[in-house]
Amino acid sequence: MNTSSNKNNQAKLITIVAVQLLGAFLALAAPLKEGDPFPNLTQFGLEGVVPDIHGKVVIVDFFASWCHPCQESFPVMEELYKQYAGKGLVIIAVNVDKNKADMDDFLKTHPASFVILRDASNKLVSQVKIPTMPSSFLLDRDGKIHAFHRGFKGDETRKQYIGEIEALLK
Amino acid sequence: MKTRHLLLLALLAASGLLTGCVNVQPWERGNLADPTMTAGNPLGNSMSEHMWFSREAASGGRGVGGGGCGCN
């Protein structure tokens, strides 16, 4: 009786350890890398209208009102959008602010004509696990990650974007 | 048997610690990025800064923008 009770306790302990280790593993799961398909944006309950990006070259840019480099990146995104939208570029900026009012204030001072979505529940950003703010993914026409931009480094990042976008739009 | 129990307990404690290692994710740093999160006295610092740069005709040099949001 005692032996079977001990075995039961051990089995319970082993189960708890296994569950906790699995949790730790999931928490450390690897982020997306180049060549990976980008998650389907319609599956995350994003606020706003998700555009049809089938066969398009897409920039998915994560931003927040409190992020200073995002304030620098927005005018560049706008410039890129105006320059390449006619050739098949779609820019989707995904906001991760806790309060929508903060995003609205940001957009008043940094107007954008490209698509703005809001990841209020942080489901999408938690899945793609961006390492810093801002971060952006450049997707090819097949929806796969062609390039990843960590942060925004002014003209250097702008030139990289132009080179990559023109190569993809050819 | 006691050794096995101790081993299991040690594993349990270790795995508990592993799950406890949670980082503040980059997209969750809005509060940390607030200027009021700057070390010291943010309001007092900005007033001191104002006084110094007005008097010395200089500015900057204290702290960094963003207060630890991890941007870039």
Residue A1's pLDDT is 47
Give mean pLDDT in consecutive 10-residue pieces for chain B, a chain of 72 residues. 84 76 84 79 78 71 53 56
Percent of chain A surpassing pLDDT 70:
88
End-to-end CA distance of chain A: 75
Q: In B, which residues are within 8 Å of A26 by CB distance?
A: none
Domain spans of chain A, in order of start: 1-30, 34-169
CB atoms within 10 A of CB A10: 14
Query: Does A113 have pLDDT greater than 90?
Result: yes
Residue A27's pLDDT is 52
Residue A8's pLDDT is 77
pLDDT band at A3 (very low <50, low <70, confident <90, very high): low
User: Which residue did the predictor score with more confidence, A22 or A1?
Assistant: A22
Q: In A, which residues are within 8 Å of B18 by CB distance?
A: 20-21, 24
Q: Which of B18, B34, B24, B32 is nearest to A122 (CA)?
A: B24
Cross-chain CB nearest to B72 (options A10, A17, A152) = A152
Tell me phi and psi for residue A122, to 5 degrees: 60, 25
Residue B67's pLDDT is 47
Q: What is the pLDDT of residues A120-170, one digit of tens each?
A: 999 999 999 999 999 999 999 999 999 999 999 999 999 999 999 999 998
Residue A148's pLDDT is 95
User: Which residue did the predictor score with more confidence, A153 or A26?
Assistant: A153
- Residue A57 and residue A90 in contact, taking contact as beta carbons nearer than 8 Å: yes
Q: Which of A104, A113, A129 is nearest to A33 (CA)?
A: A129
User: Which residue did the predictor score with more confidence, A74 or B35?
Assistant: A74
Residue A17's pLDDT is 67
pLDDT band at A76 (very low <50, low <70, confident <90, very high): very high
Q: Which of A30, A21, A24, A34 is nearest to A145 (CA)?
A: A34
Q: Which of A63, A84, A86, A58 is nearest to A73 (CA)?
A: A63
* Residue B1 near chain A (CB below 8 Å): yes
Query: Does A24 have pLDDT greater than 70?
Result: no
Q: Where are the alpha helices (DSSP H) in chain B?
A: 2-20, 42-56
How big is chain B, counted in residues? 72
- For A24, name the nearest residue in chain B, comparing CA atoms only: B19
* Residue B63 near chain A (CB below 8 Å): no
| CA torsion through residues A42, A45, A46, A50, sign | positive
Q: In B, which residues are within 8 Å of A117 by CB distance?
A: none
The CATH code for residues A34-169 is 3.40.30.10
Cross-chain CB nearest to B71 (options A6, A16, A68) = A68
Find the chain A residues whose C-beta atoms sit closer than 8 A to any C-beta of B: 6, 10, 13-14, 16-17, 20-21, 23-24, 27, 62, 64-70, 96-98, 102, 122, 125-126, 129-135, 150-153
- For A97, name the nearest residue in chain B, comparing CA atoms only: B30
